[in-house]
Structure 1
Amino acid sequence: MFDLSRLDGAVTSEAEPDVLLHRGRPVHEYRDFLAGRAIVVRNDLAAIEISGQDRLTWLHTLSSQHLNQLAAGTPTEALILTANGHITAQLRIIDDGERVLTYVDRAGLSATLEHLQRMVFAARVTITQAPGTVVALAGAAIDAPPLDVTAIWRDPWPHVPGGTTFTPPGVEPEVEPIALALATEEALSDFAATHPEAIAGTWACEAARIASWRPSFASEVDERAIPMELDWLRTAVHLNKGCYAGQETIARVVNLGRPPRRLTLLHLDGGAEHLPAPGSDVSLGAKRVGHVTSSIRHPELGPIALALLKRNTPADAELLVDEVPAKQEIIVSPEGVSAARPETRPGDELRGVRDRGLQKPPTLGGLGKF
């Protein structure tokens, strides 16, 4: 593995020393990255390779996404859920016609591999960790990568066909085009030797991600998280797909609304000396209403953070994070209503009607009268 700590100005993560955070000029690194003049080495990510003729139909049965007819080269995203709809893995998926590459958070790699291998049964698939290093590309570098890479996954956020959103109507995030790809150790070492100035830290990716409301398994997901709280139905759940773990929870909250919590973007007071750490309390007056999931000092927006709040926290309330004032930019609406919610709730035609003596037989779409 290429030693990023040898780069000039390198500041690495204390928890993960092989993860480069920045090189002393985070604003310039952010701008160079988005313009395609720099890449980001994502040692916090890993790739899983799934080969075999059943790879797509098999993944289709396990995940929240419609995958059995996925066209080669089409990027998508899926979640693996528990029976109660809690998130256990995020899969960033690209199929090249012969294999599926799925990018996952390195911290969850072992658990995801173990789960996938446990679910093979009679499926004709082979699952391995893919060799190489994950790199992030943006801007012009996506179409013209500055080093040899394979399995380019263009982040489909904020929309994938078959998804929906819990954001209020007419509101959309501002998104920068970003992609992930696999580079060999040799290609990365050669690139670092010849273009050392063109490697930026992960803060560049994180600034773009947080500003675009983009949830991450490593940051936003806890043991209680369900996709609707994070507005993840935009890209990771197909509403016309059934028969997967967690489907009932998805359908219930889409139809009835009101997820327990809601993701919001917080704009922190610019005078704050320190950014709030993940897990920091978010308060309304003296009452705790949520916690910070991730934060960054954005080159243009200033200090910002994603936070999970109680859903009914007033949208116009000014909150406090570590005694620092914070204003909300709404992602998931406090009303908790999805764009796919039916105009009439399921079963409304039967409410208040006795089992006997119906004045008019109810009509259930496509099934005629009873």
Structure 2
Amino acid sequence: MNSRPTVYSILELAIVAQGNSMSETFANTLSLAQRAESLGYERFWLAEHHNSDSVGSSSPPVLIGHVAAGTKTIRVGSGGIMLPNHSPLVVAEQFGTLGNLYPNRIDLGLGRAPGTDQATAQAIRSDFMQAAHSFPREIEKIQQFFSPANKKFSVRAPVAEGVNVPLYVLGSSTDSAHLAAEKGLPYAFASHFATAKLFDALKIYREEFSPSAALSSPYTMAGVNIVVADTDERAQEMFTSVLRMFIGLLTGNRQPLQPPTAMTAELNQALQHPTLQQMLKYSFVGSKETVKQQVRDFIGQTGVDELIAVTAIYDHEDRLQSYTLFAEIMKEINAATVPVTQREQGVC
């Protein structure tokens, strides 16, 4: 039995459903954040992706401001900023500005991947590969720009100096685990699509973690795909939109999120492909009771401190309902959590 409650949050990609405009998509993003705030979600993160018909989150700082302005208490941040695409100085200025506008509510998650294909990555920044190799040093630059001590240097981001914007290392490999542990930063693993190295990465991070001014002990987050509905059958139908999206990613057939359909023979066959099975390994789909058991098992196996849920559902009301049911699941799981002191006394 777990000894502590598990935090639950949302990773939002501003998925563009077929027939929706970008403005409608962004309105739905804010609507979801407002619902999440009322349901007790800890944070609402915006991803960075480029050159995609199905993802509207290409400028996280702008969307973070949009969401933070329309909410009151939920933490809002990046999941993440793909740092090799950007100047650390500009990132510090952007998030320092956000941190001043919305004090103690802004998170800065940083990743190394481009968030797009190689051609687009080169169009964003011609020296992308060099910047990617410099990722650890680029994080240090951002930390320096946020430090009050940076006032004595010639290159500054005054809007960021001394502002409370926590940094998170995002990753999908063991490299990111070593880095997060070395720097003593919280670690978020992208297990909602990159599943193979999850347990290796968590083990490395915990074993190598070095306490820092930011964090005294390891803090782990894991991404999971969540689709919850009233019945298993309805959830599986809604999940066909996700399947088609992932198939499109693998085949290069990029298009807006498609309406759900019955599970066809073609989709069933695609689902058996090893690559797709691996990518969707941590996809929890079904009724509330079905997903509750899957989530409880995942928490027990990984011991993560926080789940960050990704839900790509075609209909906005269905997506709101899925996140509502997932919040209920997490509250029920956490209500069954026994404090360490009770567990040590033999209560559990």
> TM-score, normalization: structure 1?
0.25
Greater helix percent: which structure? 2
Higher radius of gyration, 1 or 2: 1
Q: What TM-score does the superposition give when structure 2 sets the normalisation length?
A: 0.27
Structure with bigger RCO (C-alpha 8 Å, 6+ apart): 2
Structure having the larger proportion of residues in strand:
1
